[in-house]
Structure 1
Amino acid sequence: RLSLGCMAATPGTRTGLPPLLLLLCTGSAAAMAALKPLATGIGAMGLARSSLPLRSRLVHDVFMGGVGFGAAAKDTFKYTGSMRPGKQSPTRKVPKTIPKPDYAKDGRPKATGPSLPWQIEVKNEKDIEGMRVAGRVAREVLDLAHRAVAVGVTTDAIDQLVHDETIKRGGYPSPLNYHGFPKSCCTSVNEVICHGIPDSYKLKDGDIVNIDVTCYVGGYHGDCSQMVLVGDVDEAGKQLVKVTHDAWQAAIAYCAPGKPYNGIGAVIEDYIKPYGYSTVAHFCGHGIGKVFHTTPNILHYRNREPGKMQVGHVFTIEPMINEGVVDHVEWRDGWTATTKDGKRSAQFEHTLLVTPDGVEPLTGRIDDSPKFFWEE
């Protein structure tokens, strides 16, 4: 894959790049015309891409599909469903006055939590109050995003709203530049399991979409997501969303001091099994606080992960439930995960605090939160 640095290079400057690569970086019609015979020759030889030298691979990629520039590039990726990547808007800016997490500038988180899975931070009162604030902000922003969903609305417009409303509340949208993620929230439509990148895609009648919002406020992250129906959704789609919600709620009800973390997955798996659904194994819930992702790992299927819940633990439960197979495919963007069979997936998420009596959803719904379809 050509790097962003390469794409920004200007021929004739001292970049240290070979002339062939500089030609590719211009993307000009003249450059493409000059290089096309070479690409045709490479294709005619019938050689595997992996066997080609680097410079030949670059030409191959531009003209034979995959990475490339403008109309010359052809997307040959084997998508599993109807979703396709759209056009992304430029990276959104965050005012200098907004406190930012340590990865905001370079995409690399520096703060780390405990190194062993059974070592889990116990939050003190100051931490808990800070997380309540962050959780409330995340809830308010997610509710606004939920209300914005309608046929014809782009996922990029939802991202713009999440970005603006988070900043309006003094927060930083946690996903933005986290390990390089390009947007301020995740919008996962239909067969997209998670980490969908908001873009020019216009929501269609019958879509189901998960909006995942995390806000960094006062040094703490609050993380939540929920499903939203677009227009008239079929009964199978409604059932998937409702069952996912109810399995998630059953897992939350299980939680209390002394309960093994691995019991969460068993509750979820038992709940969805009669419906023929599968629970995604590759992605999991997580501890959260000053660090976006830390211990414990919350697996949403039967497992033997160590650790028991203790008052002061804070973590997310966020099951991803598929209509069909458990396997996933990752798009070339390095983020978007879709079901391998192209069937739909659903997810709900809360940030939860373990209390003496059970758990407190720090991102819990409030009095004016939008209703789910079964509540109307």
Structure 2
Amino acid sequence: MYIKSNREIEIMRTAGRIVAEVLEKLKEVIQPGITTKEINKLAEEYIRKNGAIPAFLGYQGYPASVCTSVNEEVVHGIPGPRVLKEGDIVGVDVGAYYGGYCGDAARTYEVGNCSEEAKRLIKVAEESFFAGLEKAYEGNRLYDISHAIQVHVESNGFSVVRALVGHGIGKNMHEEPQVPNYGLPHRGPRLTAGLTLAIEPMINAGKYHVKTLSDGWTVVTADGSLSAHYENTIVITANGPEILTKL
């Protein structure tokens, strides 16, 4: 686990703010008729305009600047000609390097008017992040976060994806430790001030099993149920957790 200095955290605040601004701008444009490729273009332009570099582009061969995951797609959906339609939901994952440090966050958006189940799934994904955040205090254990997320999701009748996890973040997009969204409390490494994490609940309306499509990237629910994703980059401080990917 790589503990960051105050100077490094300050740079990560800037990277995080750029990511947060992209996600806020996308909220205004995501509506029926937009393509996932257009979402990617808008995000990339904004990242570069602010002196940052898209973190995902070229990462292990990934072909785009953001991930756009529609309906039953959990994560890593590749932007393309797909037109979003009324009632869809789309998870958009954005990463940006600024000054050599990474910010990473995701939101799931409603496209037009969605079903009540879709709205509730999106809401519970967000709430579960904040349930985890309440455990992100110095002296607690990493899986205290994981357990709190799982309890909130499952108590609302949804399931937590187990094959994918959150992660440490900093100079690299993925650093130790891994941050599962499920697990037993009071386990895992102790949380220390200066630790930066990307906490990212991925939750399904049906069962938690997932599979990867033939493109090698897009992860979908095995049972075809809807999935929602909510992520922020945070830092543990002496005064509690701080979200870095916020305005």
- Give the TM-score category using the shorter length: over 0.9
Q: Residue 74 of structure 2 aligns with which residue?
A: 193
Listed as ranges, the matches of 1:87-166 within 5 Å are 120-166=1-47
> What is the one-letter code of the residue matched to 2:229?
Q
Q: Which structure would you say has the larger Rg?
A: 1
SS at match of 2:134: helix
CA deviations on 1:32-65 (whole Å, 9 max, x unpaired) are: xxxxxxxxxxxxxxxxxxxxxxxxxxxxxxxxxx
Instruction: Quote how far apart the aligned CAs of 1:268 are.
Output: 1.2
SS at match of 1:254: coil
Higher strand share: 2
Query: How far apart, in 1, do the equivalents of 2:169 and 2:155 lie?
Result: 32
Q: Residue 226 of structure 2 aligns with which residue?
A: 344
Whether 1:311 and 2:193 are equivalent positions in the alignment is yes
Instruction: Quote how far apart the aligned CAs of 1:216 are.
Output: 0.6
RCO greater where, 1 or 2, for CA within 8 Å and sep 6 or more? 2
Query: How far apart, in 2, do the equivalents of 1:274 and 1:363 lie?
Result: 27
Q: Residue 242 of structure 2 aligns with which residue?
A: 360
Query: How far apart, in 2, do the equivalents of 1:261 and 1:153 lie?
Result: 39
Alignment counterpart, residue 113 of structure 2, candidates 232, 255, 267: 232
Q: Residue 133 of structure 2 aligns with which residue?
A: 252
Query: How far apart, in 2, do the equivalents of 1:275 and 1:361 lie?
Result: 25
Query: How far apart, in 1, do the equivalents of 2:212 and 2:184 lie?
Result: 24
Listed as ranges, the matches of 1:1-376 within 5 Å are 120-303=1-184, 306-364=188-246, 366=247
Number of equivalences: 246
TM-score, normalization by structure 1: 0.64
Poorly superposed stretches of 4+, deviation over 2 Å: 303-306
Query: How far apart, in 2, do the equivalents of 1:360 and 1:275 lie?
Result: 26
Instruction: Quote how far apart the aligned CAs of 1:329 are.
Output: 1.3
Query: How far apart, in 2, do the equivalents of 1:255 and 1:358 lie?
Result: 7
Over the matched positions of the two proteins, sequence identity in percent amounts to 39
Query: How far apart, in 1, do the equivalents of 2:11 and 2:48 lie?
Result: 17
Query: How far apart, in 2, do the equivalents of 1:345 and 1:134 lie?
Result: 27
CA deviations on 1:166-212 (whole Å, 9 max, x unpaired) are: 11011110000000000000011110000010010000100111111
Q: Residue 53 of structure 1 aligns with which residue?
A: none
> What is the one-letter code of the residue matched to 1:241?
I
For structure 1, which runs of at least 5 residues remain unmatched after alignment?
1-119, 367-376
Query: How far apart, in 1, do the equivalents of 2:211 and 2:199 lie?
Result: 22
Query: How far apart, in 2, do the equivalents of 1:137 and 1:283 lie?
Result: 25
Instruction: Quote how far apart the aligned CAs of 1:146 are.
Output: 2.1
> What is the one-letter code of the residue matched to 1:288?
I
Query: How far apart, in 1, do the equivalents of 2:112 and 2:199 lie?
Result: 27
Instruction: Quote how far apart the aligned CAs of 1:303 are.
Output: 4.5
TM-score, normalization by structure 2: 0.97
Query: How far apart, in 1, do the equivalents of 2:124 and 2:6 lie?
Result: 35
Q: Residue 59 of structure 1 aligns with which residue?
A: none
Query: How far apart, in 2, do the equivalents of 1:261 and 1:225 lie?
Result: 21
Query: How far apart, in 2, do the equivalents of 1:138 and 1:236 lie?
Result: 28
> What is the one-letter code of the residue matched to 2:107?
Q
Query: How far apart, in 1, do the equivalents of 2:26 and 2:176 lie?
Result: 29
SS at match of 1:282: coil
